[in-house]
A = this chain, B = another copy of it.
Amino acid sequence: MQYNEVLVGLKTYEAGKPIELVVREFGIEAKDIMKLASNENPRGSSPLVIEAIKQEAGKAHLYPDDSYYELKDALAKKYALQSANIIIGAGSDQIISFALHAKANNKSAILMARTTFAMYEIYGKQTGATILKTESHEHDLNELYDLYQKNTNIAVIFLCLPNNPLGECLDTKDVYDFLDKIDKNTLVVIDGAYQEYAAYKDKNKAIDVQNLIEKYENVIYLGTFSKAYGLGGMRCGYGIANAGMIHELHKLRSPFNITTLSLKAAIIALSDQEFVQSSIALNFEQMKRYEAFAKQNGFDFIQSYTNFITLRYPQTQNATQIATMLLKKGIIIRDLASYGLNALRVTIGTSEQNTRFFETYTNHSRQ
């Protein structure tokens, strides 16, 4: 059977190793495995969410209210916008897919930083578009603008603020200066999956979403419940833009694209801001330990505005070897070798988890 040409160049996404896989591959018991690889909230979900899921379990046979009325209403209130400005996705990465399929095609190009969220490229290639990346791994607005000027067919630009998997974050005022120079027919995706963390750490990185989309009709902002809200497994995110763009993207959304329990969980998670804020506070408190650990052990790290930290190694140390050693001890982190980096991305865990990480790491280094 012959398939569409676009499939030829596509590879499947490789997710962080799940605990179940390590159980099978290394024969380590599930209870002894610690996963710091997928930037899940180490505190879990809000207790209110867990209780709500239990109460709604008996509705698993019922399709959700496909208008997502209550969730959109709550998000609209949070951002001081209208429900018509909001689209719900199965994770914010589904909105990435909608945006790309709405704008990009085999005649256009998509622009992004060299090392950023892998799904931009994967979904991008599904449209047949060309992928353009900066030379720098981290976001560099000058380089991005340079490429934008040299290529007249750029349909979509991605800015990941803060950036996954590196952790850095542009200042919002610089982003605005950049957006001022971009044609209104180029769609700019501002991916705020980790924005709650950045806004907490440094107000210069905080994005006023209402102001952003009112000022720029060509911008869509993405948010998610997977990180600070502790709902990674529930697959729920959202896109915010002017009502015209949201109307177009809705044409690509399939009905019931999130589950009945995810809808409930997201509504309750949004109401428990105390859980979110205390999760973020814990995150940055614990992150200091990783920064100190890196300095003590002679390797570098990227200043992080997220719930993970990227450790960069000198040529004398091999990050992949370290990741493999940790895996054999039941600790799953993300090796960034596939991005051309001698670096590891570690999700900031609970105090106990981080202690285990440091101890296992140190014991190995001494061998």
Measured CB to CB, the closest approach of chain B to A190, in angstroms, equals 15
In the complex with contacts A10-B252, A217-B1, A218-B1, A233-B61 CB distance below 8 A: yes
CB–CB A255/B13 < 8 A: yes
Q: Which residues of B contact A116 (CB under 8 A)?
A: none
CB–CB A233/B251 < 8 A: no
> Chain A 1-32, CB within 8 Å of chain B: the 1/0 string?
11110010011110110111100100000000
Q: Which residues of B contact A105 (CB under 8 A)?
A: 4
Q: Which residues of B contact A49 (CB under 8 A)?
A: 60
Q: Which residues of B contact A61 (CB under 8 A)?
A: 40-41, 43-45, 230-233
> Chain A 117-132, CB within 8 Å of chain B: the 1/0 string?
0010011001000000
Measured CB to CB, the closest approach of chain B to A13, in angstroms, equals 5
User: Which of A258-266, A284-292, A348-356 sits within the interface?
Assistant: A258-266
Q: Which of A244-284 contact B (CB under 8 A)?
A: 244-245, 248, 250-262, 265
Q: Which of A41-64 contact B (CB under 8 A)?
A: 41, 43-45, 49-50, 53-54, 57-64
Q: Which residue of B lies closest to A57 (CB)?
A: B53
User: Which of A77-85, A90-98, A144-152, A203-211 sits within the interface?
Assistant: A90-98
CB–CB B64/A233 < 8 A: yes
Q: Which residues of B contact A19 (CB under 8 A)?
A: 65
Q: Which residues of B contact A334 (CB under 8 A)?
A: none
Does A134 sit within 8 A of B, measured CB to CB?
A: no
Q: Which residues of B contact A97 (CB under 8 A)?
A: 254
Q: Which residues of B contact A2 (CB under 8 A)?
A: 185
CB–CB B60/A57 < 8 A: no
Partner of A261, one of B38, B69, B187, B261: B261
Does A67 sit within 8 A of B, measured CB to CB?
A: yes
Q: Which residues of B contact A114 (CB under 8 A)?
A: none
> Chain A 146-190, CB within 8 Å of chain B: the 1/0 string?
000000000000000000000000000000000000001101000
Q: Which residues of B contact A244 (CB under 8 A)?
A: 1
Does A70 sit within 8 A of B, measured CB to CB?
A: yes
CB–CB B103/A251 < 8 A: no
CB–CB B103/A3 < 8 A: yes
A250 CA to B261 CA, complexed, in Å: 26
26 contacts across the A-B interface (CB closer than 8 A):
A1-B185, A1-B187, A4-B102, A4-B105, A10-B252, A15-B63, A15-B255, A18-B64, A20-B70, A38-B62, A44-B61, A49-B60, A50-B60, A53-B54, A53-B261, A59-B233, A60-B265, A64-B233, A90-B257, A93-B254, A122-B254, A123-B254, A232-B260, A233-B259, A235-B258, A259-B261
